[in-house]
Amino acid sequence: MDLQALIDAASTRDWDTDPEESVSMAVVGLGNYARNVSIPAIEAGDYTELGAVVSGHPEKADRVAEGHDALSLSYEQYAEGEEVDAYDAVYVATPNRLHLDHIRTAADHGKHVISEKPLEATTERARAAVERCEDAGVTLMTAYRMQTDPVIRALASFISHGGIGEPTKAMGEFTFDVLGGSSGPDQWRLDGELAGGGALMDVGVYPLNTTRYLLGTDPVTVDGIARATEPFGSKSEDPGSPRFADEHVHFNVEFATGAVGDFTASFTGKADSWLEIVGSEGRIRIENAFGVNSDREVRIDTDAATVELSDWGLNETVEEFDYFAHCLLTGTPPEPDGHDGLVDVQTMGAVYRSAATGKRVSVDMGPARSGD
């Protein structure tokens, strides 16, 4: 793939075969992201529509349902299968440690599932989610919107076709000021048990998974450092504790191909996100890499040319849900499936073990964290 072909590919859907049907979605969990990002994306999609919303807060569910002409269900009604014919698939957007329960319910009702990342709070629970969907014969997709972004997909193809030679190194950062919005320190993202960790689980997964996708490889070993101050470290100062919520994390990854990764994630500091892939014959740098529907800036330096591109691509959240629906309508397994999500949870668990022990850790060693 040459640079012009990459530019052309970054504004197209390489997976779209234009099916005529659509998929009705039930949204489980009505937090800020689900209400303000995911539901509008579902309604804007070519192959998706909103069928139902599910929440533990009846007034919120009724208000959202009325505003979007959808059914309103409580968690109990969802679990019992009320109005189950009103939707074809389920989007799980609850806190991480609750994903498994809602995935199990969907699988028991024969519904396909797209679950927010990370797939679960621990390796054991992520694996259980994958196995339950496999046993039920339903599709499980991990909601890695970056993998459906045409820009990222085009770059992955460019790299796989030797565009920057042999990839040798990846570097990335995602800093998100989690206390900068309306949510205070009591939010679930700062509860290490409910979230599975802190900054690593919430935003560190982005450079990790996006690099895995771009390079087509998985981690072998990791080492990491995790730190927290009040209110992040108030529950425990031990990164090995299942209640630890990291404020900052720095981790290094050795991939199966021999490439290495160097990543950071933070819950405090000036917001930023970027990713750089270095190869034997060039490099790619993406600014505003992981923000929702961000105007990404991409610089590609190769032996042949240097290209800088901005305001590039499509709304990746709309792409994510349309891609999921397209997979269901065409019987195509999604690329970011449940196993993809499981690998990341397992890898992040290994980072926490490394942070707790001060040692380099193999990714395939044991459960993700104590307290699984």
Domain ranges of the chain: 17-144, 146-315+335-362
How would you write the pLDDT of the chain (372 residues) with one tens digit per residue?
Answer: 677 788 888 888 999 999 999 999 999 999 999 999 999 999 999 999 999 999 999 999 999 999 999 999 999 999 999 999 999 999 999 999 999 999 999 999 999 999 999 999 999 999 999 999 999 999 999 999 999 999 999 999 999 999 999 999 999 999 999 998 777 888 999 999 999 999 999 999 999 999 999 999 999 999 999 999 888 865 556 777 777 899 999 999 999 999 999 999 999 999 999 999 999 999 999 999 999 988 889 999 998 889 898 877 679 999 999 999 999 999 999 999 999 999 999 999 999 999 999 999 999 744 444 444
Buried b (16+ CB within 10 A) or exposed e, 31-42: beebbebbbebb
Give the pLDDT score at 234. Answer: 57
**Token pair 């034997």: residue:** 280
Question: What DSSP state is assigned to residue 160?
Answer: H
Q: Which amino acid is at 10?
A: A
Distance linking the first and last C-alpha atoms of the chain: 44
Whole-angstrom distance, CA of residue 171 vs CA of residue 321: 28
Q: Quick one: pLDDT at residue 343?
A: 97
Strand order in the sheet with 71-74: 71-74, 48-55, 23-28, 89-92, 112-115, 140-142
Whole-angstrom distance, CA of residue 334 vs CA of residue 21: 18
Which whole-number Å values give the CA distances from 103 to 64, 128, 133, 134, in the listed order?
22, 10, 8, 11
Q: Which position has the token pair 């290490």?
A: 192
- Specify the pLDDT at position 250: 98
Q: What is the model's pLDDT at position 371?
A: 45
CA proximity to 275, closest of 361, 169, 192:
169
The secondary structure of residue 96, as a DSSP letter, is G
Domain 146-315+335-362: which topology?
A: Dihydrodipicolinate Reductase; domain 2 (3.30.360)
Note the pLDDT of residue 270: 94
Structure tokens at 257: 């191909």
Q: Among residues 148, 100, 153, which one has the least CA distance to residue 128?
A: 100
For the record, the structure tokens of 324 come out as 């999921």
Alpha-helix residue ranges (DSSP H) falling in 121-230:
123-136, 150-160, 192-195, 199, 205-215
SS3 assignment, position 26: strand
CATH of 17-144, one of 3.40.50.2300, 3.40.50.720, 3.40.50.150, 3.40.50.300: 3.40.50.720
